[in-house]
Amino acid sequence: MLNLETNQIETILSNYIYLATGGNGQVYRTTTNPAIATGDGVAMVYRAKGRIENMEFIQFHPTALYEPGLLGQAFLITEAVRGDGGILRNKSGEAFMERYDERKDLAPRDIVARAIDNEMKVTGTEHVWLDCRHFEKEKFIEHFPNIYEKCKSIGIDITKDMIPVAPAAHYSCGGIKVDEKGRTSIRNLYAVGECSSTGLHGANRLASNSLLEAMVFAHRCFEYVSQKVVNGVPPSQYRKTAPVPEWNARGSSHPKEMIVITQSLKELRQVMSDYVGIVRNNYRLQRASRRIDILWDETEELYRSSKVSPQLLELRNMITIGYLIIKSAIFRKESRGLNYNTDYPEKSNLVQNIVL
């Protein structure tokens, strides 16, 4: 563990370890995830030779608020707005969803996100519009007070103006492979929440499943480990049989110029957003793979020669996450759920997990 006060690595021994490190949306240019969603738990387990699966299934929320120049976490415009009658319109003001799905604006997230992505590419724009001008103002404020206030804060009057929206990385369905008790492939290591791959989401997440994954599986994990603690091996015996060497920072220097880290992060997000986003193909994936390999080599060299910092650790983990998403997408020769590849537009009859 990196002690942020002393900038030293500290070793903490434990009989049982839970990972609840969340998602990895920050590998993309725009995401609904907070700044801490850098995939640290998944990256650590992969380096420890634990099993990771189905990382290609990244859900993109179709309607994040578009703010020019914004990077990182975007404000989420809930699907309930479309559920209440919000209409998606393109640059020309056309309600375009009827061209993509008979359910129009009520189609599933992946279909709506792909439709918006296509409209943006065809028209050369960075967003589409969500039209709520026909809503009764008082009803909108009652149902969506936070959205109303956010739009108002940036000069959007929902009774007169349409809301600019664009897809953003939202949720990772894959992750650390676990069983029904949250056990990973590494002894006494457990994972719960978005960093885990429970199988509940399949290839295309439903929103309520996150509560099931976080609460039910976390409770199962707690009950299972609690019983093991009651009947298990005393901590002192574990310390005798599992020595951990001290962190050796000799020969390392202070981190290089921060511009090296920030530029590598910018490149990573650009590669992932442009080549490994909502719609993929073999050429884009191979191109992304080559660029991630370069970033990987450069960052590992920086990691070996510099003293650790939170920014460097997160960059290293995010590059690992990018690598896992790309490799999983390359291995899946079909379009299933959230993985849409124009070179393999059909769903395969063979259902398989991509395990790395």
The DSSP code sequence of 29-56 is SEESS-TT-S-HHHHHHHHTT--EE-TT
Say if residues 298 and 310 touch (Cβ distance below 8 Å).
no
| 3-state secondary structure at position 238 | helix
Residues 6+ apart with CB under 8 A from 151: 65, 157, 158, 161, 163
Query: Which candidate, 114, 105, 117, 116, places its Cα nearest to that of 79?
Result: 105
Query: Is 109 annotated in the active site?
Result: yes
Angle between helical axes of 310-331 and 40-47 (0-180°, round to 10): 70
Q: Which residues pair with 60 in a beta bridge?
A: 169
Distance CA 185, CA 199 (A): 15
CA distances to 224, 298, 353 from 356, rounded to whole Å, are 26, 23, 10
Distance CA 54, CA 195 (A): 12
Say if residues 68 and 26 touch (Cβ distance below 8 Å).
no
Distance CA 128, CA 144 (A): 20
Distance CA 301, CA 292 (A): 14
Exposed, middle or buried: residue 350 (CB in 10 Å: 0-12, 13-18, 19+)?
A: exposed
Selecting among 29, 82, 89, 109, the annotated active-site residue is 109
Helices (H) and strands (E) in the chain, counts: 11, 15
Distance CA 216, CA 229 (A): 20
Query: Which candidate, 280, 300, 276, places its Cα nearest to that of 288?
Result: 276
Residues taking part in catalysis? 109
